[in-house]
Chain A
């Protein structure tokens, strides 16, 4: 009998199955067909990436202040550089940029406060964000109070305007959407009919039509003494349009809550608002995070449509800059910059929503 008294010592896993090589073998080269596709993919990537990198970085011109500083072989980032403050603030007077900067800082501060879990007083921060901040932002940006010179809204623009439109749209659309969704599920016939008509009307009309109505037709119907600011008109149109979509997202979430929850709460003697506020909504809103963020992201991108009513949002100001005769022909650089900024914002929103989902996950996830 052959008998080995010693245990065979632990051995590392075979070289080919661990580390980067193992990963490559397991995932990219596990068979002739997959290997072929991997190589093909790498080749396509090479074909796409090399010219892009050459254009965007290696051959690009970064320093200068006019079109003569660009060789036109690669990207001319000089253009974006020269117009950068305009892309951020629009046509806002440059000596008043500090006002916009304070608003930007407050905005970033509020978001950071809400996102970082360790910081206290979340509830007060929410109240400030919803009530105090809009007033402060308006006073600062518009001026006319405390000796601040007035800056009319037609000078607002760029990323500032995009963020303004998006945040007002989001903050406005969510509560209106919740009310509409509850109204649509209500037993009261008048409330229900009103909500159905409202939602179906706004959902049935393209946003571009609403903006056109607001900017072209509305001034004709109103008496000539009343002149509503075009930014306000756009904001109202955008908010109502998005609230109809939001209502349907929320209604979807509400329908996913079993009826028993509501009945059990009612059996405990809770009023309608308590049932909704304490039992139904907390469960439903959690489930609706992907849908709500989806709507927010699409709202953020929809804000570019205000360009057609002559407001210079980020994309609008890029296009206006492209029509300056000193900078003709740099449209690719301008659009790439705008796309990059939009991507950063949309991607951050999407990451935050994933984090929120994980944080609020109470074990119902399958």
Chain B
């Protein structure tokens, strides 16, 4: 087995040396216009986030970020080249210019944001470590898990988070460690443990794989912060702004009640916020060298944030993840976008 940790270090070291050079890199927007497609780095298959569907089209909440950028820049959400990357090579691919947007369920951390020559443009999904328990145990909160045996996948931060949380709360647990997610689910199903822990976005995908998903439930508590978001190279602020505001446009659209179905009616709306977002009052794309209808293109072709969430990971998808903290701020969640003004 190769040592992933060393490769990451090595790759990171390489990226740091390259980070200095990247400022000299050409204009990403211009290159994208010339190419006619956004170079987008996605995962090599993660349920609900990025995976090819039966017809070979990439689908997922991470994929929608790239489609939104393509809609804003080129007016066509299909003008994207998807390049699948594994966890180790994702930052190198961004640094070397192989991809221009990295939208691959990447957790926003200090190290990544400050030492790799990268910029996180926002949060598409507030993830966190959660727990899946059999429904008939009657457990409703993490605090009732004292003394439980817990199935974990090895080599992930999940293991550390779990130990930290239980120690901090003076509780005991018995870890049962597996190598792959399939084995973890198998162990849970065979009754090797009472509880299964992983990031909540993964738990939903694991739950579907049980022979009878209705016998298990996912607790609403989370014990860690995993904000996932798109990443761009440092040193090209125009591009950074485009990716950042593409996501904000989707969030603002949901907040203002605009979706892909009613966006054409909304063009006539009297609401000044809506008129500004859809380019009917002033050109707010100008500062990013985009056309005035940049946000209109995003909403009509990709939809608003809520639609994307629902279609890919929410109730409209097999994963059926609750909006939870990913609700808009107006509904008690964390998703908050600065106004278009």
Which A residues fall within an 8 A CB radius of B?
A: 65, 67, 72, 82-83, 86, 90-94, 152, 154, 206, 208-209, 212, 215-217, 219-220, 222, 224, 227, 230, 307-310, 312, 316-317, 319-326, 328-329, 331
Contact = CB atoms under 8 A, between A and B. Distances in A.
B44 A316 contact: yes
A227 B96 contact: yes
B88 A324 contact: no
Given A319-B44, A320-B44, A310 B209 contact: no
A92 B52 CA distance: 12
A320 B97 contact: no
Contacts of B59: 324
11 contacts: A65-B54, A208-B2, A212-B89, A220-B96, A227-B98, A310-B84, A321-B45, A322-B45, A323-B205, A324-B54, A326-B318
A90 B10 CA distance: 31
B47 A328 contact: yes
B209 A220 contact: no
Nearest to A86: B56
A325 B319 contact: yes
A94 B2 contact: no
Contact of A324 (B2, B47, B85, B93): B47
Given A208-B2, A220-B96, A328-B47, A83 B83 contact: no
Contact of A320 (B48, B84, B93, B319): B84
Across chains A and B, which 10 residue pairs bring their CB atoms closest together, nearest first? A323-B45, A219-B96, A329-B209, A320-B45, A220-B14, A325-B47, A310-B84, A91-B56, A328-B208, A324-B51
Given A324-B47, A328-B209, A329-B208, A217 B10 contact: yes
Contacts of A316: 44
Contacts of B224: none
B144 interface: no
B54 to A, nearest CB: 5
Contacts of B215: none
A310 B86 contact: yes
B52 A320 contact: yes
B182 interface: yes
A21 B68 CA distance: 73
B220 interface: no
Contact of A224 (B10, B56, B96): B96
Contacts of A67: 318
A331 B209 CA distance: 10
B25 interface: yes
Contact of A220 (B44, B88, B95): B95
A158 to B, nearest CB: 10
A222 B82 CA distance: 22
B226 to A, nearest CB: 18
A310 B45 CA distance: 10
Interface residues of B, number: 47
A320 B209 CA distance: 16
B7 A216 contact: yes
Nearest to B22: A224
A324 B44 CA distance: 11
Interface in B1-47: 2, 7, 10-11, 14-15, 17-18, 21-22, 25, 44-47
A208 B182 CA distance: 23
A90 B51 CA distance: 13
Interface in B281-321: 312-313, 317-319
B273 interface: no
A323 B47 contact: yes
A220 B15 contact: yes
Contact of A212 (B55, B85, B88): B88
A224 B25 contact: yes
B271 interface: no
Given A216-B92, A310-B84, A310-B85, A209 B14 contact: no
A328 B205 contact: yes
Contacts of B14: 216-217, 220
Given A72-B211, A216-B88, A325-B319, A320 B98 contact: no
B85 to A, nearest CB: 5
Nearest to A322: B45
B119 interface: no
Given A94-B55, A216-B11, A217-B11, A325 B81 contact: no
Contacts of A321: 45, 51-52
B81 A154 contact: yes
Contacts of B179: none
Nearest to B57: A91
Contacts of A209: 2
Contacts of A325: 47-48, 51, 205, 208, 312-313, 317-319
B102 to A, nearest CB: 13
A310 B208 contact: no
A86 B45 contact: no
